[in-house]
Amino acid sequence: MNAATLRSVVCVLWMALLAAFGSAQDAVTVYRGARLWPGDAPAIEHAVLIVAQGRVQAVGGENTPIPDGARVVDVEGQVITPGLIDAAWNAGTAVADANEQSEEVTPALHALDNLDPQSPALLRTRSQGVTAVHIMPGTRNVIGGMSAVVKTWGTDPASMVLKDEAALRIVLGAEPSIGNMPIGGGNADSMYFRRPGTRMGVIWQVRRSFYDAKEYLARSIDDPKHTVIDRDLEVLARVLQGKLSAVTTARSEQDLRTALRLAEEFGYTPILDEAQDAYLVADDLHKAHVAVMVGAPSAERVAGTGAADGAEPRLATLGKLRDAGVPFAITTGTNMAALDLVREATFARRYGLSQQEALAAVTVQPARMLGIGDRTGTLQPGKDADFVVWSGDPFDPASHPLTVVVDGHDTPVLR
């Protein structure tokens, strides 16, 4: 199916679902008989899951009372999990170009502005059991801008947004300097002459930006009525004040250590992204109370880096982070060779994680990191009714999503 045909299918299905939205939103639906994994607790056999008005109303065993007049869906022999959350989504065609390279530091840019809510990539991702994704600016800028968390389906684009301005993306390593040229004489007739050409230059851009933000904050305190508003510095100041998370993409050991030093220097706690060399600094991550979004555990090659970065994936990385007490999420990340999110978790399962740990790494853990744990990530009364009905154990390669429910609505999935 080509992109144009897939887009037409998405539009038709979207309109059909909107037509049924009112009645479906008010109905009480009971899913009965499945093995249910709440996300943060052991599985419930022969479970009862009650959903109404887009929220989970009750979760319990087979003796849970069923409301009169409820629609009962028999899911005996199947498995229910919370909807998966990709904390660093490999968006593919959903974001045509997420890099604004006219400047190397663009904190005030919003990744949400570049998202196509009817993208075929969202349909494919949802069909794999993912109900929420964290979209970030690209990795070519040193400071790329603000991310957002969105659901993979909604009645309108606004309803899809779980959290705008979720985090600021910072990128360390060789990638923000790849292809850039030092002036060294001649005419600076391209933006690539001005941008950092070395890892040192990348780090200085981060450091200088936060120094500027500190001075901006000091001026605001001294003279709150006459300070000229600078949108970029406002965003950086929010990081310094602990009001905005900083996701720092760092793959190699030296970049991970640099990320920790910068955070300590400026007084914020980062979330580390990609982090293929995290196994080398696990104890330091634990001491710094830092969480990690691990990119594509199955990948044999690190994405987005030059040979000088030197990061090397290890199959045992997630087990070492667990043993060190470091919170982590599994993501598809920036690697175009990444598997579906559930298959990345399956891969991690094969290399040491328990079933509950692997599931938590794609549900409750990313929800906590992204600040959306009050709405999703686990199946609990009051939370959004985002869940997946699987044909069997989701970590069995033969299993697949039968139904993907977002806000209480059965959504279109590709077979």
Q: In sequence order, what DSSP letters do the residues of 281-317 get, joined into one string?
A: SHHHHHHTT-EEEEE-TT-SS-TT--GGG-----TTH
51 confidence band (pLDDT: 50, 70, 90): very high
307 confidence band (pLDDT: 50, 70, 90): very low
pLDDT for the residue 157: 86
Contact (CB, 8 A) for 72 and 127: no
Instruction: Look up residue 70 and give its two tokens.
Output: 């409820």
Please give the Cα distance from 147 to 150 (Å, whole number): 10
pLDDT for the residue 19: 47
Q: Kindly report which listed range (33-42, 106-115, 145-154) carries the lowest average pLDDT score.
A: 106-115
Residue with the bigger pLDDT between 96 and 312: it is 312
Closest among 404, 359, 400 to 386, alpha carbons compared: 404
Instruction: Look up residue 310 and give its two tokens.
Output: 């030197």
pLDDT for the residue 314: 80
Secondary structure of 147-213 as H, E, C letters: EEEEECCCCCHHHHEEEEEEEEEEECCCHHHCCCCCCCCCCCCCHHHHCCCCHHHHHHHHHHHHHHH
Task: Identify the burial level of 23 via C-beta atoms within 10 angstroms of its C-beta, where 0-12 means exposed, 13-18 middle and 19 or more buried.
Answer: exposed
Q: CATH top-level class for 84-377?
A: alpha beta
Token pair 């290399």: residue:
351
pLDDT for the residue 156: 85
* Predicted confidence (pLDDT) at residue 326 exceeds the cutoff of 60: yes
Domain ranges in the chain are 84-377
Please give the Cα distance from 348 to 344 (Å, whole number): 6
Contact (CB, 8 A) for 253 and 280: yes
pLDDT for the residue 17: 46
Q: Which amino acid is at 173?
A: G
Closest among 247, 253, 10, 195 to 121, alpha carbons compared: 10
Residues whose CB falls within 8 Å of the CB of residue 283, separated by 6 or more in sequence, listed in order: 324
pLDDT for the residue 317: 93
Please give the Cα distance from 368 to 373 (Å, whole number): 5
Instruction: Look up residue 346 and give its two tokens.
Output: 């399956």
pLDDT for the residue 226: 62
Mean pLDDT value of segment 228-249:
95
Q: State what percent of residues in the chain have pLDDT above 70.
A: 86
Token pair 């001075």: residue:
215
Q: Kindly report which listed range (49-53, 90-94, 205-209, 257-261) carries the lowest average pLDDT score.
A: 90-94
Q: Kindly report which listed range (84-98, 127-141, 157-171, 348-362) carries the lowest average pLDDT score.
A: 84-98
Helix (H, G, I), strand (E, B) or coil at 85: strand
Instruction: Look up residue 220 and give its two tokens.
Output: 């605001």
* Predicted confidence (pLDDT) at residue 151 exceeds the cutoff of 90: yes
Please give the Cα distance from 180 to 198 (Å, whole number): 9
> How many Cβ atoms sit within 10 Å of the Cβ of residue 188?
10
Q: What phi-psi label fits residue 289: left (phi over 0), alpha (psi between -120 and 50 degrees) or beta?
A: left
As a whole number, the mean pLDDT across the chain is: 88
* Predicted confidence (pLDDT) at residue 186 exceeds the cutoff of 70: no
193 confidence band (pLDDT: 50, 70, 90): low
Mean pLDDT value of segment 183-209:
76
> How many Cβ atoms sit within 10 Å of the Cβ of residue 310?
17
146 confidence band (pLDDT: 50, 70, 90): very high
Counted residue by residue, the chain has a size of: 415
Contact (CB, 8 A) for 331 and 247: no
